[in-house]
Each structure stands twice: as structure tokens, then as C-alpha cells.
Amino acid sequence: MNERSETILSLKNQLAEALKRNRLLQEELAATNSGLLALTLELEAKNEEVQVITQQLGQVSRMATMGELAASIAHELNNPLTTVSLRVESLSAQISADDLKQRSLQIIFQEIERMSTLIKNLLDFSRRGQRQVSTVDVCRELEHTLELIYYLFRKKRITIKRAYQSELPKINADSQGLQQVFINLFTNACDAMPQGGTLTIRVFIDPIDSEYIAIEFSDTGIGIQPEALSKVMDPFFTTKLKNKGTGLGLAICRRIMQEHHGLINITSEIGKGTTVSLKLPL
């Protein structure tokens, strides 16, 4: 082999080695890029998690502050409101039943009653007392609550349909707290069906997590606007007409469910109705 051939062969070998090194570098670069991409995605996920936790902590802080403020306001309003109520009753007793002033006094008394309801809701919302936990039959509690406000369903021309799974286990819960949740949800369903309708109540073991009992309330009412759906459980937010709601009912329901280590979720479709789903641990 002459010198020219040896030079060409050497150049070919060097080129082949260079191509090999280049391929290895490209593979290493691709692996590094893949690793960086995975780290970036992981970092973004961690950032989102931190943001969620920060929002939750902020919400807890705001809720605690709001609870203290609500309790303070409620206590301060209770005494003067009672005094006003007693004075109105006294004035009403001094005026004949056919006196036109009776109508004005009646309006004042109705407004006092509305404020009393708001104060009660504020106290319920802010209260953090010990729950009286006992063994509870959920279906029996539902039936007892339905009996308490049966007149309201009859007045609103609302039909109740039941779908209770048989032989459901009992749960450990505060019956008074559950009753408060049920009454709030029943009242909301009535308000959502001003022309009458059907409220279907389902109780069953959660098919996804058998450690929970599920309770669903489905009405055939007007539904909730999508932009309002994420806010309906916020304190003082209401979709009801003026003077029809305080915006604390669902906030109280959520707090009671949290105290029971349970969950509450609401889905709705305009013109077709709303479903409120509860999950309580067995």
C-alpha cells in the first residue's frame, strides 16, 4: 500500500471515529434533554402542588378569621334584636287588629325573623364545638328529617322519590349535624323548584370506595349557572333571590362534612336540575 492509500485509509478511520463520537454525543444530549424535561415537568407539578397548598392554607386562615368575626357579630346583634322584637310585640298588642299600622309592624317583625335566621346561621357557621357522635342509621335520619319539613314539600308540590340500598351499615356521626345538612339541602331543593318537581334521594355503598356510604339528592329544578357552581359553597355567596338566602347554608354543610371526614360535591345543568353528592366514611 502506497503512502496515498494509507493517508486515505487513515482519514476514513478518523471520519468513522468522529461520526461514532458524534452519534454518542447526540445520544447523550438526547438523554440529558429527556432528563431535563422530566425534571422540568416534576418541578412544574411541585409548583402547582405548592400553589394548591398555599391556597388551601389561605382559605383555612380566611375561614378561621371569618368564623371569629361571624361569632362576634352574631353575639353583638342578638341582644338588641331581641329587644326590638319584644318592643314590636308590645306595640302590636296595644293596637287593634284592623289598624293599618299592624301591617307595618308585621313587616318589621318579618325582617326581625329574617335577621334572627341570619344570626343563627352565623353562629352555626362559626361554631367549632364537640360533636355528639353516635351510631347512626343514615336512612332513618333522612326519614326523620323529611318528616320535620314534609309540609314544605307539600306546599311546594314536590314529590319525594327514594332509592335506598338494602342492609346498609350504620355509621359513626353526629345526628344533629347530619340533620342540619339534610335540612339545608332539602330547603335548597325546594327553592330550586318553585313550580314543583321531583327530589330523588339515593343512599348506597360507594362503588368506587366501599369504605364510604354515598347519599345523593337530585332535583328537577332550574339548575345553577356554571360560573356560580364553583362558588356556591363559599360563605355569603348565594344564587337565590334577594331576601331568600344568607349564603351560609352550603358553607355550613361543607364544614359539617369536613368535621365528619366526609365529602360534598355539587353538579348541575341549567334547566334540568342539580345533584348534591355526600360521602361519609363507614
* pLDDT tens digits, one per residue of 3-32: 667 777 777 777 778 778 878 888 888 888
232, 266 in Cβ contact below 8 A? yes
SS3 64: helix
pLDDT tens digit sequence for 186-236: 988 998 898 999 999 999 999 888 899 999 999 999 888 888 877 777 766
Q: Do residue 15 and residue 96 come from a single domain?
A: yes
Q: Do residue 25 and residue 153 come from a single domain?
A: no
Structural domain ending residue among the three candidates 104, 128, 152: 128
Q: In the chain, what is the straight-line distance between the N-terminal and C-terminal CA atoms, in Å?
A: 89
E strands present in 153-257: 158-164, 171-174, 197-205, 212-219
Residue 198: domain span? 134-281
pLDDT tens digit sequence for 39-65: 888 888 877 777 777 666 666 556 555
Looking at the chain, how many residues does it have? Answer: 282
Q: Do residue 242 and residue 260 come from a single domain?
A: yes
Indicate the pLDDT class of residue 247, thresholds 50, 70 and 90.
Answer: low
pLDDT of residue 187: 87
Q: Which CATH number covers residue 59? A: 1.10.287.130
SS3 164: strand
Taken in order 189, 195, 200, 201, the sign of the CA dihedral is positive
Main-chain phi, psi angles of 65, to 5 degrees: -65, -45
Main-chain phi, psi angles of 95, to 5 degrees: -110, 140
Q: Do residue 86 and residue 198 come from a single domain?
A: no
Q: Do residue 263 and residue 199 come from a single domain?
A: yes
pTM: 0.58
pLDDT of residue 121: 66
Q: Do residue 256 and residue 156 come from a single domain?
A: yes
| pLDDT surpassing 80 at residue 241 | no
